[in-house]
Amino acid sequence: MKVIELHKSVTASNDADAEALRQELKQRGTLLINLMSSPGSGKTTLLSRTIQDLKDELKIAVLEADIESAVDAERIEALGARSIQVHTDGMCHMDAGMTRQGLEAMGLEQIDLAFLENVGNLICPAEYDTGAGKNVMILSVPEGDDKPLKYPLMFQKSDALVITKIDALGYFDFDLEQCRKRALKLNPNIQIFAVSAKTGDGMKKWEDWLKKETSAWKAQ
């Protein structure tokens, strides 16, 4: 398992670096999705199931960002997908320069769809453009349907919201409709998916969206 230690970005303008990276990824025909959520919401589990379901249709790679450990990248690599673990030098988010370092170390040859599993938290990652083509956030049922009220920026910055662990709806007071309404109020264009990576419920709609966005990215 390849693990690299990232260095803080030296350039002052993250936004310009992010835009440059996005354009390069467009030229290459690789859609990069920045996946954000709080710790333990189910990012790696969702990615694992998505890779298993789509591996015959899309070449998928995953850049795993964490402060410590390589467990997530090991889980992805065990599925036969390309993956690399990057350590963020204690930082609670990835920026464009760090994302570039990670992608270059991992390699993007023949990759259609790359995911960046960002560091787990609902605040810092929303504040930094990573250069991704799409931002996706996960909210899991046990976290509660009030999160749009508490972390509005994350919902505003995301192109899609994946509500995970819906197999656990019976155990929590999570109102799916209320959550949808709150998210749409902050961001009327957000795409919302409700899934269980455990049972497979709702996965097809999410995967169809990924396929549609990957071909739209290549066609640009």
Ligand X SMILES: Nc1nc2c(ncn2[C@@H]2O[C@H](COP(=O)(O)OP(=O)(O)OP(=O)(O)O)[C@@H](O)[C@H]2O)c(=O)[nH]1
Please identify which residue in the block is written with the tokens 């961001």: 187
**H-helix or E-strand containing 136?**
strand 134-140
Contact (CB, 8 A) for 116 and 32 = yes
Q: Which stretch binds Mg ion (CB under 5 A): 42-50, 86-94, 108-116, 123-131?
A: 42-50
* Single residue of 44, 88, 158, 214 touching Mg ion by CB under 5 A: 44
* Single residue of 14, 21, 38, 43 touching Mg ion by CB under 5 A: 43
Q: Which of residues 33-62 bind ligand X (CB under 6 A)?
A: 37, 39-45
Nearer to Mg ion, 44 or 187 (CB): 44
As measured in angstroms, the least distance from the Cβ of 215 to ligand X is 27
Rounded to the nearest angstrom, the gap between the alpha carbon of residue 31 and the centroid of all alpha carbons in its chain is 12
**H-helix or E-strand containing 113?**
strand 113-117
Q: Is 72 in the site for ligand X (CB under 6 A)?
A: yes
Q: Is 72 in the site for Mg ion (CB under 5 A)?
A: yes
Residues facing residue 192 across a β-bridge: 161
Q: Where are the alpha helices (DSSP H) in the chain?
A: 14-28, 43-54, 71-77, 96-106, 147-150, 152-157, 176-186, 203-219
Query: Which entry of Mg ion, ligand X, none binds 165, CB below 5 to 8 A by partner kind?
Result: ligand X
Q: Which of residues 137-196 bind ligand X (CB under 6 A)?
A: 164-165, 167-168, 196
Q: Which of residues 81-100 bind ligand X (CB under 6 A)?
A: none
Query: Which entry of ligand X, Mg ion, none binds 198, CB below 5 to 8 A by partner kind?
Result: ligand X
Contact (CB, 8 A) for 172 and 140 = no
Contact residues for Mg ion, defined by CB under 5 A: 43-44, 72
